[in-house]
A and B are shown apart, each in its own frame.
Chain A
Amino acid sequence: MSVIELADVVKRYQNGEEVIAALDHVDFRADRGEMVTIIGPSGSGKSTMLNMIGLLDTPTEGTVHLDGRNVTDFSEDELTEERRSGIGFVFQDFHLLPMLTATENVELPSMWDTSVDRHDRAEDLLQRVGLGDRLNHTPDQLSGGQRQRVAIARALINEPDILLADEPTGNLDQDTGETILTELTRLKEDENVAIVAVTHDEQMLEYTDSTVRLVDGVVTEVSGR
């Protein structure tokens, strides 16, 4: 069973008088241990699609299933709980909190959850992405690649089913980007997590299990399945 599934999803925006369909009857699914890449030119609806998968946005039409449950009509608070327990995010700009150390940044999603102590897991994850010697560094003491690895560790802290990556290599040079992608490929198997990445970087296609090509909100090609 797919861990995340979009069925016939439409997303329309009102832009002044005009109604724009950012997504136009889109189907999508991803499984655990699989890396799916959504590729397309800018403005094609990639980010909107990622927001749907990440439960940050709700569709105008169609349904969203998470782990077989229909979450389409969930309230914002219910969606927050789902994101907290099941979804990890990696952003293009890393989005680490500057006043927290690497370990604290990784712990952040579980910070308010006083019932569990994720400190050891945070350190373990940082070890695994090769930052065992940078645990107490703040983001401004880390390079771009290191920051993105902290962000990946953060995305995995709550043992999610899905890891979403929005242009994860967008702000990195080619070599660093490749290292990050290798890292992700390894983690998706270790953690048995579905990775959904959005990019317009063709380099990523070498690492993915399947690719969804999006143009003007319409899926034009699905490859690798």
Chain B
Amino acid sequence: MSVVDFLWRFPSVQMAWRNLGRNKLRTMLAALGIIIGVVSICSLGMATAAIQQQATSQLGSIGNEVSITSGQDSDTDGVTDDQVDTIRNLVTDAEVVPQKTNSTTISSRNGREVRVSVTGVTNAAALYNLTSGEAPSRLLSGALLSNSTATTLGIEEGDPVEYDGQLYRVQGLIEEENAFGFGGGELVLPESGLSDQNHYNTVTVVAEDSSTATEIGGELNQYFNTEDEEELSINTFGNAGQVGGFLETLSLALLAIGGISLVVASVAILNVMLMSTVERRGEIGVLRAVGIRRSEVLRMILTEAALMGTLGGLVGATLSLAAGLVIFQMITGDPLGALQWSSAQYLVYGFGFAVVASVLSGVYPAWKAANDRPVDALRG
């Protein structure tokens, strides 16, 4: 037995299908309303999923960091060794990387000059990626230089750079993956190179992920600061957490807009169902007169609405999938991202909404038709 034969054993489905076929144009227009609703919900949802994915991948490099600097009410102009020790004691499951910073101008033999920021740090591995190989976790001699600066100045690995009257051999070039591109060039030196500075300008805590970073930031804040006194300024950046929150709000807002169009579509269905039941009043009266039960009439009309919703939902979801592939291609450059659950879920929601909204819109017309007294209905 084929699926069609099987479905045909359900008289409500059979009758509903035939009834929908009686006024194809009207059915199609009502379904079109649903299709538009589903497509708007799905494509807006998928667009936010794409934006979210893109933003998260771009934020990834700093999202998991906590940045600590001297607070407003601190007695010193930086983070002290004691404070660093305290932080190290408090934070056990993440790297604590104290840094001293300055700036300088590097000149090259070809006479070019570039202003760069200088960072004195021991554990360079935690903060930097090199174009070749790994950054040393204990930087005791030599220097690291931004790849772009090196290119501008014509400096290669092994060449010397000067800072504060001392020469450092460039050990590696820093790969700049920071999507926001702030900072410009950077020269990384051993901490000893900036030994004339007593305090650390920044302590960076590198955590597993952004939620751990947020947690650590909260703990440190609680330990060092009170409401009135800020000993250390602790920033979990406006990082992925907050951006994610913003994106969630954005996606809710967009979904609400999509939802409105689906509400409009279901009002259209309500209207179509109401019209078609009013038109068929006499006919439904005949059904009731020949012994068709109220529940059967109700089921038949609800099935009509459900079929319309299913049909519109399926077409809408298919179109949305196509739209999703295009959206992902445009935003992230990878169309297949649309098939991931974070984006594909909106197809399921859109389809589900379409069916539910249609059935809900069918409830009143169905109830009205089923409860019309046959003697009144027959009179027309």
Partner of B291, one of A57, A97, A114, A158: A158
- Contact status A91-B286, CB under 8 Å: yes
Question: Would you list which residues of chain B between 164 and 210 have a CB under 8 Å from chain A?
Answer: none
- Contact status A80-B375, CB under 8 Å: no
Question: Would you list which residues of chain B between 278 and 327 have a CB under 8 Å from chain A?
Answer: 282-283, 286-294, 296
A99 to B24, CA, bound (A): 12
- Contact status A108-B293, CB under 8 Å: no
Taken residue by residue from 1 to 36, chain B's Cβ proximity to chain A (1 for < 8 Å, 0 otherwise) reads as 000000001011011001101100000000000000
Asked if B378 lies at the interface with its beta carbon under 8 angstroms from chain A, I say yes
Asked if B120 lies at the interface with its beta carbon under 8 angstroms from chain A, I say no
Asked if B374 lies at the interface with its beta carbon under 8 angstroms from chain A, I say yes
Nearest residue, chain B, Cβ from A107: B11
Give the B interface residue count (CB, 8 A): 25
Give the A interface residue count (CB, 8 A): 28
Partner of B296, one of A57, A88, A98, A112: A112
Known contacts A100-B18, A111-B11; decide if A56 and B293 are in contact (CB<8 Å).
Answer: no
8 contacts between A and B (CB under 8 A): A51-B375, A56-B373, A80-B291, A81-B293, A83-B291, A99-B19, A109-B290, A112-B11
- Contact status B290-A84, CB under 8 Å: yes
* Shortest Cβ gap from A152 to chain B (Å): 13
Nearest residue, chain B, Cβ from A84: B291
- Contact status B22-A108, CB under 8 Å: no
Interface centre among A83, A84, A111, A158 (most CB of B within 10 A): A111
Within 8 Å CB of A51, what residues of B?
375
A98 to B290, CA, bound (A): 16
Taken residue by residue from 262 to 275, chain B's Cβ proximity to chain A (1 for < 8 Å, 0 otherwise) reads as 00000000000000
Asked if A77 lies at the interface with its beta carbon under 8 angstroms from chain B, I say yes
Known contacts A54-B289, A80-B294; decide if A95 and B375 are in contact (CB<8 Å).
Answer: no
A97 to B296, CA, bound (A): 16
Known contacts A56-B375, A95-B286; decide if A77 and B18 are in contact (CB<8 Å).
Answer: no
A93 to B214, CA, bound (A): 77
Asked if A154 lies at the interface with its beta carbon under 8 angstroms from chain B, I say yes
A161 to B287, CA, bound (A): 19
A51 to B289, CA, bound (A): 10
* Shortest Cβ gap from B373 to chain A (Å): 8
Within 8 Å CB of A109, what residues of B?
290-292
- Contact status B293-A112, CB under 8 Å: yes
A100 to B11, CA, bound (A): 12
Interface centre among A56, A57, A81, A85 (most CB of B within 10 A): A56
Nearest residue, chain B, Cβ from A87: B291
Known contacts A95-B282, A99-B18; decide if A76 and B294 are in contact (CB<8 Å).
Answer: yes
Within 8 Å CB of A91, what residues of B?
286, 378
Partner of A108, one of B290, B294, B374: B290
